[in-house]
Structure 1
């Protein structure tokens, strides 16, 4: 049997709970901004120790709503070069200018040093991304630098449901955090996003932005240039049901990651992005870096075709400053981002992954890596 790159896990009891909720809402006709949205918001906030949560249509919308609430129009927003397009896309759509920063190779995230190099006199916000669900120890230094400069810190926590650092949850280190519930995430609502914040003012702004800029759900008075960024009730019900499994899913993923850590320690040159001290990640992704000279495409092909193991999409194979659509904002090379994006692979981690599947991945990666790394060594000696 093969091991897929991703697997979405809803057991029979989850499916029954969602079906019951959908029957209820179809009976009542409450299909948007109803009781399930409120339940999901309250449960997600409680899970992360946050005061306020606002459900929206996607993680991208969550980030853009936060940036619009800050009002970054015509100003700079620092984003790491190692992240998904949407991090910068939200800045552009909110009227800001993305400024790309290099990353710490140990965490693939901003550090205070890379952030300081990217700050400008016109910086309106900083976006910190928790790649793969790992929160690095640099988070406090990044927050302190933002505070000294008087710049709000925003977390792109699209990968980081339930992740913590020193007992504090993702989405609670800055002014606000944005989460995604795209189907492959550790918990999903099908499509959707969530904003966490301690600020009642930002919470209220977000509620206005998500509902076409209306001052309240029941009026036709539009006070902001909002969008249709609501989360539907069916999506909220799916999200609320799946959220109940978050702790269980994270435990399963962490057990897989511990076995990968041990196995990769015996493969000289194939270096995992290890969990930093103080971090308790959800392992949305398990990232490892191939040594220079090992062909990533050939590595992935061999693992898939010879062993039936599909390596999930990189995070990410092309840094933001080299994305064609973002070329107008390019300011120069970012060597660490370019290096780690060129060399990274992601080993499969599923929320119901079995010991046999984990071993199949370890055997496949070990066999292919030893062969390709040995061939690379032979060429370098020839």
Structure 2
């Protein structure tokens, strides 16, 4: 039995519901910015206790729109070195210069100290990324630092559907939170993204930007340099159905993570990222640091070829400044990001994962680690 690194989960009943919704949408001809988009926005906002939600075409669009709303053009945006291309690309497309900051190893997240080290008079925003669904305990200190300097804190919450820290949901710590609905995410709409915010002004600006900068839908009156960042009604219908499963998906993923953590505890040198006190993760990723000097490619090959377990989707295998397109990014020393990017793996976590699959992963990782360590 092969265990893939990720799996998209739609039950038979959910597929039927989506199919019926698509039929209705096609029959009405209301294909974009209609009632299903509004319901999806309302449902996602309610699930994260947010006042406002704006559905858009992708998580990248959500982040770019949020950055445009806070006015980063011609200035600098601080991002972690160990994030996905889209985090820095959104800043570039919004007209800003990304500046890389280092992280700390227990949450793969920025710290107030690492951010402060790269701030300048040109800093307009800091993007905090909730890697793998973990919200760092440093989030309040980061917000305080940003507030004191007049800098916008934006959350890249692409991984963080249903996550919280001290009872506060992802998307509630900064001026806005940007979520992704890419197919592998805990909740997917096929493609899509969402902006959550408490600011009615930011909500209104985001709605303008997502629809070619129009002052109102259905007009040809353009007041901003926006783009085609709308979410289709078909995507909204898929997301609306999947969102109903968020709580059960998170509970199952947490049970898988609990088993992994218990199984890895006796294995010296394997260090999983665990929830900080007060944190509640969706375990979009279950991240494990391998011992220094371990051949990561060899480790992954062994568990794949001998146990049929696929490990993929690192977060991330290359820090941004080692991506060819970002070779010129501004940064200082990045020792933690360099280290953790080079030696972590992500164990499979699915929203419908079986006990047998979990057993297979545990056996694979335990056996290969023991052999390499011995």
TM range (shorter): over 0.9
Shift of 1:145: 0.8
Distance 2:373 2:33 in 1: 54
Partner of 1:17: 17
Distance 2:218 2:182 in 1: 29
* CA deviation vs aligned residue, 1:139-159 (integer Å, no higher than 9, x gap): 111111111111110000000
Secondary structure in 2 matching 1:346: strand
Distance 2:110 2:278 in 1: 17
Runs of at least 5 residues in structure 2 that lack an aligned partner in the other structure: none
Partner of 1:223: 223
* CA deviation vs aligned residue, 1:100-123 (integer Å, no higher than 9, x gap): 000011110011111111211111
Distance 2:198 2:332 in 1: 36
Secondary structure in 2 matching 1:328: coil
Partner of 1:379: none
Alignment of 1:97-246 (within 5 A): 97-246=97-246
Contact 1:322–1:330 (8 Å) recurs in 2: no
* CA deviation vs aligned residue, 1:159-184 (integer Å, no higher than 9, x gap): 00000001110011110000000000
Secondary structure in 2 matching 1:77: strand
* CA deviation vs aligned residue, 1:263-299 (integer Å, no higher than 9, x gap): 1111100100111111000000000000111100000
Partner of 2:68: 68
Distance 1:97 1:164 in 2: 30
Shift of 1:90: 0.2
TM-score, normalized by length of structure 2? 0.99
Secondary structure in 2 matching 1:53: strand
Contact 1:57–1:230 (8 Å) recurs in 2: yes
Secondary structure in 1 matching 2:135: coil
Distance 1:44 1:92 in 2: 28
* Alignment pair present for 1:287 and 2:287: yes
Partner of 1:57: 57
Partner of 1:380: none
Q: How many residues align structurally? A: 374
Shift of 1:331: 3.0
Alignment of 1:252-291 (within 5 A): 252-291=252-291
Contact 1:177–1:195 (8 Å) recurs in 2: yes
Shift of 1:322: 1.9
Partner of 1:88: 88
Partner of 1:349: 349
Partner of 1:331: 331
Shift of 1:136: 1.3
Shift of 1:323: 1.5
* CA deviation vs aligned residue, 1:223-248 (integer Å, no higher than 9, x gap): 11111000000000000000000000
Contact 1:56–1:62 (8 Å) recurs in 2: yes
Runs of at least 5 residues in structure 1 that lack an aligned partner in the other structure: 375-382
